[in-house]
Structure 1
Amino acid sequence: MVATSTVIIISTLFMNYTSKNKEIQRYEIHVVQPGDTLWKISKMYRPNEDPRKVVWEIQKHNKISPVIRPGQVLEIPIR
């Protein structure tokens, strides 16, 4: 009984983990222009989503701080 419960819990966690990773599979390339901010970029590519979440995803994926510079190349997660 305990072993069965453990297997079910592990299977459920794995399915949730893999389904979350499959949500973001594609990226668009964006070259930062003068005046761009992560907020503006997030609204440009995913206008119907909370920009705070999108900014966080952009930062996490590109391993950057909130400061961006013109000419910088970013991969924007697209759903």
Structure 2
Amino acid sequence: VDWPPHLLDLNSIENVWGIFKRRYWKAVWKRKRITHNREELIGFAQEVWSELPWERIYGWLDRIPERVNFCLRRNGGPTQW
């Protein structure tokens, strides 16, 4: 298959990272300070991660087979996702 190595239409993690980053920086802004301590940073990131909309994310993952089939039908062309 002669397609780009990184099809964004099939890369759900990009959506997850986008949500995580927005929520992380929103939470940092609410706290009015940036964490510089490694352990505190990890704990803070885990807290934000645990509050992600997992039902929505799992919905994206459940649709991956549909996305793969759509990409195959379009010969790797863009999709609606």
TM-score past 0.5 threshold: no
- TM-score, normalised via structure 1 length: 0.28
Larger helix fraction of residues: 2
